[in-house]
Amino acid sequence: MYGVALPIMFPIGAFTFFNYYIVDKFLVAYYFRRPPIYDDKLQRMSLGFMKYAPVLMFFFGWWTIGNMQIFDNEVKSLTNTGVNLTTEHTVDPIPD
């Protein structure tokens, strides 16, 4: 979900999944007397949650890429004047 804002999370996630795979293989082969008892309920529940991940990543990525503070490196300073702060953020990422 946050990969658009922090691209380093993709290789970190890949390394983490690879590490879990290796450790689980090692533990099943050398440590456990019997393999852990898993049924298809865990897999079905995980796949049920994962089908919403691309949608969340799309919306969060749209917001991240559309944030002009990232690309313009321009931050509005916050002063306490009693007037509402205009952030110039809109739903449309392309300014008129």
Q: Print pLDDT tens along the chain (96 aa).
A: 888 888 899 999 999 999 999 998 998 888 887 766 778 888 899 899 999 989 998 998 888 888 777 767 766 676 676 777 677 777 776 655
Report whether 61 contacts 4 (CB < 8 A): yes
Tokens for 37, please give them: 């008892």
Domain extent listing, the chain: 1-96
pLDDT for 95: 58
